[in-house]
Amino acid sequence: MSVAAATKDAVLTSAVDLARQFAVELAEHPSDVGEYLGAVADGERLVSHRFACAATGYQGWQWTVTVARVPRGRIATVCEAVLLPGDGAILAPEWLPWSERLRPGDIGPGDVVPFRADDPRLEPGWTPTGDDELDSVAIEELALARVRILSRDGRDAAATRWYTGSQGPTSAGALAAADACMSCGFLVPLQGALGTVFGVCANEWSPDDGRVVSLDHGCGAHSETDTEPHASDWPESSAAIDDLDIELVSLGSPANAVPAEDAAAGDVAVVEAPVDEAPVAEALADEVPVVEAPVEDVPVGEAPADEVPAVEAPVDDVPVDDVPVDEAPADEASADEASADEAPAADAPTDDESAGTSQ
């Protein structure tokens, strides 16, 4: 029945205050009953008044109070007062039994899943037949001697889940890998039908260590692949001094250079002179000027002859670079030096000459 039909029942539609009173009694706080939302006719002489719910966490819910009256009655009576969801109300998910509500990953440490006798993923295990050969293969090699084993449905479901998951060939790591797990030395094969498609990774450096992986899966820790060489991300700067480029310089020696062992102290080069050249005394006489004292300039009788100094230039004061030196034997050189020291100056007067002049 529509609201228009409900308006014909003036007794019930006018019972708004009565309905609010019961809604306030039902709510925890009077402020939880909000504005009036209208009336809806639920049947003959049956009308529901609705108020917005202002309680925290009940957005979109409505307080609903249903009133009724007897035939030809003029008094409204409250039949029911409840809190019902309206349009856009937050509702709990539809209830499901645990067997349908449980999802992978919901089982934590200490949780126990109830036994399911009719699990379609399992089927009875191997029943010994008495044939030693068959029983040996089924029990020892295939490990089928259990109460229940995987059925075809359970095996197909597991294969599909593994192959399409993160350990299959379509994962990001497998697409970026250089080679597949089939050729990796860390792959441990599985037995049975699943062993034709899957194995277990035993590489601690792999992100799939200890997990079931498809044979066409892959990762960067493959045992037979290597990294591609590339230039360093930190190039070396050029050296301040290039010690790898050596410039060869030819140093020529003069023909008349003196060997190192014959050179004088202080790295002074001595020029060799031929033996047949002038002696040292003559060279000194030619090169070193001797200051002569004229005889006529010396007063007679005032200055003794022995007090008139003969100005000589010592041989030691002559620069070595300007005087050629004879390379004579040591004994001969000593003799020449002694002669030069004993010989008087050529131009200086001697004691005898001074005496003769006085006479």
In this structure, which long-range contacts are made by residues 60-65, counting pairs with CB atoms below 8 Å and at least 24 apart in sequence?
60/85, 60/86, 60/87, 60/88, 60/89, 60/90, 61/85, 61/86, 61/89, 62/37, 62/86, 63/23, 63/26, 63/27, 63/33, 65/18, 65/19, 65/20, 65/22, 65/23
* pLDDT on residue 257: 54
Q: Is the pLDDT of residue 197 over 70?
A: yes
Q: How far is CA 15 from CA 69, 78, 337, in A?
A: 11, 9, 156
Flag whether pLDDT at 298 surpasses 70.
no
Which is more confidently placed, 305 or 248? 248
Does the structure show a pLDDT above 60 at 345? no
The encoded tokens of residue 280 equal: 């040292």
Q: What is the mean pLDDT of residues 124-133?
A: 85
The answer on pLDDT for 337 being more than 50 is: no
Q: Which residues are CB-neighbours of 58 under 8 A, at least 6 positions away?
A: 83, 89, 90
Per-residue pLDDT, 116: 86
What is the model's pLDDT at position 295?
A: 46
Contact assessment for residue 180 and residue 167, using Cβ atoms and an 8 Å cutoff: no
**In the predicted model, is pLDDT for residue 266 greater than 50?**
no
Question: What was the pLDDT predicted at 304?
Answer: 47
50 confidence band (pLDDT: 50, 70, 90): very high
Confidence tier at 76 by pLDDT (50, 70, 90): very high
Pick the more confident residue, 232 or 120: 120
Higher pLDDT, 123 or 288: 123
Which tokens is 137 given? Answer: 């293969």
Q: CA-to-CA distance for 162 and 174, rounded, in angstroms?
A: 13
pLDDT tens-digit map of 20-40: 999 999 998 999 999 999 999
Whether the pLDDT of residue 100 is over 90: the answer is no
Q: What is the per-residue pLDDT for 242?
A: 64
| pLDDT given at position 260 | 52
User: Average per-residue pLDDT in the chain?
Assistant: 75
Q: Would the pLDDT of 289 be above 80? A: no
| SS3 labels along 71-132 | CCCCCCEEEEEEEEECCCCCCCCCCCCHHHHCCCCCCCCCCCCCCCCCCCCEEECCCCCCCH
CA distance 357 to 359: 5
pLDDT tens sequence across 146-189: 889 889 999 999 999 999 999 999 999 999 999 999 999 999 99
Report whether pLDDT(12) > 80.
yes
* Measured distance CA(298)–CA(306) in Å, rounded: 12
- Of the spans 90-94, 222-226, 254-258, 331-335, which averages the highest pLDDT? 222-226
- Report the pLDDT value the prediction gives residue 185, as an integer from 0 to 100: 96
pLDDT at 223: 95
Contact 18, 69 (CB under 8 A): no
